[in-house]
Structure 1
Amino acid sequence: MTQPTVAAVAIGRNEGERLIRCLTSLRAQVDRVVYVDSGSTDGSVQAARDLGVAVVELDTSVPFTAARARNAGFDALRQDPPEFVQFVDGDCGVEDGWIAAALDAFAGRDDLVIVTGWRSELHPEASVYNRLVDYEWHRPAGEIAACGGDMMVRSADFIAVGGFDPTVIAAEDDEFCTRIRKSGKRLLRIPVAMTRHDAAMLRFSQWWQRAVRSGHGFAQVGDLHPDYFRPERRRVMLYGGVLPVLALIGALWFWSLLLAVIALYTVSYGRTVQGLRRGELPRKEALHQALFLSLSKFPNLSGMIRYHLRKARGRAMHIIEYK
């Protein structure tokens, strides 16, 4: 039986050594590798070429988005399209054996369009922010509604749905997966290590910007698919918007209202801790992470507001970078 053809599309901007690790991890596992660069100034383009990788440099006059970069990478393969494409972010190294495992999952499954696996952080011990991200990647295996940007995709279905939406600047992978599901196809996460990610988040400001970007994604993808991210948007509006306003009113005029708001935040924090503990986090770690998860509603709200302001003013959706 002939082995299916697989190409990889890696995207990045100023990833440095992380990019070299990414491209090196791919070369022995796939037939072709394309690197798409979004205006790097750190020598990433030359480093990729030195590794023998095909490079696509995006036009810097058009706003960068991860979706636009992934589409450009796929376009570079269209003259001789592979059966499958592995998309990966340039700050991720692909684990040995992942490509073969993903292809095995596709075997005999014509209804299956996307296969993803387990992503983990390269240095979770470096900061609480890295540990937060590492926990974020822990998701159960099985059929899924959406996944992150590290995914293997059947090329024919990628073309059929029109690829990624280049105007979506955050959660573009969720938006793409939603259209795949609406086309009647399936997505699967298999219990296999897929990539090692390097978030490199060492400062509070980086974590805040990443949470702002998430909020922007909640709003923009929710605008395109109202049923998606609905619980997330409601939580952000309640804990990041409504309750702070009620707390201010209570502080000025009704102390009982202020106490009620504090009680609601306390209950929410306690439930978050319990959820993290069920995820097998140690108590101290769960208490710490729950604090940031509770706080994240404020930058999330900022991101949601930013999206709606941009839309109302007809402005381009520029990426929100955190590193």
Structure 2
Amino acid sequence: MSDSPSAGSETPPRTEGPKPRVSVVMATYNRLTLLPRLLKQLATQTLPPTDYEVVIVDDGSKEPAAGPLAELAQELPYSLRVETQKNAGAAAARHRGVLAAQGEVVIITDDDMQVPENFVQRHLEQHPPGSRNVVLGRIDPDPAILDMPLFERWYAYLHDRLAKRLHEEGAHGWNLYTGNVSFRREDYVAVGGFDPNLKQSEDIELGIRLEKSGCQVRFCNDSYVLHGSDHTSFEKWLARAHRYGIMDSRLSERHSDVPQVDPWRMLFEMNALARPLLATAVALPGPTKPVTDALMGVARLADRLGLNQVAFKSTSVAYTMEYLRGARAEAGSWREVARRISRYREVAASGGFLAQQGAGKDSSGAS
């Protein structure tokens, strides 16, 4: 894949000395107030500052980040590169950042994260010479999580459950997330990088291609970040769920041998009590929208009463209803819905990609 189509201003990297061993890459959009916190935390790393650099790609923020960050760069011990492009989406921005990176190992994180002092070193340790690892780190909630909306606390709950599962069972490409991941730059370039045509789930799609190319996907429980959020709109949260249903449908068409990313799996994996609601959201997408709103009303009430499990489970069902509405919209006809569900069941029964790789073996490892 080519670089981002719309180049803009950039802050050139420092040229003196050897190339860094690691590049920390992040995309940013309208979060200039949050960036200095993360950049200053990256300045206190246990790894010598000559061993790493930071590459930021501003994806068309209303207030460009390049100017203020150029001033901050003078106070930082490591090389900071800032590039600016017209708004093209996170995938295009991250792709541009990885191509600009000079390190052999690339770490990707988000602009609303916080990192400990050993963050970069922990990732680097997971990439010994000759390895082809893709390393997922843990995502823990920001200490201010209790002040955030219910749907953001639900995300934190899901991250915690995922971390436990990956630590116990190992990781795969479809688990990849851009909040805390590292890989060798040459492996990224070899598979073509992020697909900018996927406005969501581009991280999972990249992870699948990396694993199919022979990379070993690992989970490192010690490489953690703290995730906060400035999202407050319930309507935008639901719209995001809808888009994920659309994008995961396209992802599944591309990787039909990976049932773990097929959106129709939700009809079979969710709690049996929730399945009738999910089925009605597919059968009657419009008329059942008030049901989704009512579910979130139940979730908020449970949250106020301190019934966390009820609140989170109700939120999960509401999210999945909207997610499947997106998958239903992407499928179009009932015939196509039936075809995709049938294909999912067939591939899931056969084991899909895992069966092709000698199923059952956990080659990913965990540390």
- Give the TM bin, normalised by the shorter chain: 0.7 to 0.9
**1:59-116 Cα deviation digits (max 9, x unpaired):** 34xxx22211111012223xxx3110111111212222111112222236x3432112
Query: Amino acid of the residue matched to residue 235 of structure 1?
Result: M
Partner of 1:22: 38
Equivalent residue number for residue 129 of structure 1: 151
Q: Is 1:163 aligned to 2:193, yes or no?
A: yes
Structure 2 letter corresponding to 1:120: D
Query: Within 2, Cα distance between the matches of 1:283 and 1:190?
Result: 32
Deviations 1:32-61 (A, max 9, x none): 11110111013433232222231111134x
Q: Among all aligned residue pairs of Structure 1 and Structure 2, give the percentage whose two residues are the same amino acid.
A: 23
1:148 aligns with 2:185: no
Equivalent residues in 2 for 1:213-232, closer than 5 Å: 213-228=243-258, 229-230=260-261, 232=263
Q: Distance in 1 between matches of 2:39 and 2:309?
A: 35
User: Displacement of 1:125 after TM fit?
Assistant: 0.5
The answer to whether the 8 A contact 2:107-2:123 is kept is no
Query: Which segments of 5 or more consecutive residues in structure 2 lack a partner in the other structure?
Result: 1-17, 74-79, 269-274, 286-290, 296-304, 333-367
Aligned length: 272
Aligned counterpart for 1:69 among listed residues 59, 73, 93: 93
Paired residue for 2:202, among 165, 172, 179?
A: 172
CA shift in 2, pair 1:200/1:59, >3 Å = closer
Which is further off, 139-148 or 155-164? 139-148
The Cα of 1:133 is off from its aligned counterpart by: 1.0
Q: Where does 1:87-98 land on structure 2 (aligned, <5 Å)?
A: 87-98=108-119
Asked whether the 8 Å contact 1:35–1:48 carries over to 2, the reply is no
CA distance in 2, matches of 1:230, 1:294: 18
Preserved contact between residue 216 and residue 306 of structure 1 (Cα < 8 Å):
yes
Q: Secondary structure at the match of 1:129?
A: helix
SS of corresponding position for 1:163: coil
2:325 corresponds in structure 1 to 302
Structure 2 SS opposite 1:57: strand
1:188 and 2:211 correspond: no
CA deviations over 1:102-144 (Å, ceiling 9, x no partner): 2222236x34321121112223202212210111212232631
1:115 matches 2:162: no
Tell whether the 8 Å contact from 2:91 to 2:198 is kept in structure 1 after alignment: yes
1:84 and 1:154 in contact (8 A); partners too: yes
Answer yes or no: is the 8 Å Cα contact 1:113–1:157 preserved in 2. Answer: no
Residue 245 and residue 156 in structure 1: after superposition, are their counterparts in 2 closer, same or farther (change >3 A)?
Answer: closer
Does the residue aligned with 2:62 lie in a helix, a strand or coil? Answer: coil
Aligned 8 A contact 1:27 1:33 in 2: no
Q: Is this contact kept in 1: 2:263–2:327, CA < 8 A?
A: no
Query: Does the 8 Å CA contact 1:20/1:47 hold for their aligned counterparts?
Result: no
Aligned 8 A contact 1:19 1:91 in 2: yes
> Which consecutive residues of structure 1, in runs of 5 or more, have no partner in the other structure?
249-261, 263-268, 270-281, 310-323
Alignment of 1:243-322 (within 5 A): 243-244=280-281, 284-305=307-328, 307=330
Q: Deviations for 1:204-246, whole angstroms, at most 9, x for unmatched residues?
A: 2232123223223321211211133455423269656633477
Asked if structure 2 preserves the Cα contact closer than 8 Å seen for 1:240 and 1:297, the reply is no
Alpha-carbon shift at residue 300 of structure 1 (Å) = 0.7
Q: Deviations over 1:237-290 (max 9, x none)?
A: 965663347789xxxxxxxxxxxxx9xxxxxx9xxxxxxxxxxxx982111110
Residues 1:286 and 1:100: Cα distance change in structure 2 (over 3 Å): same
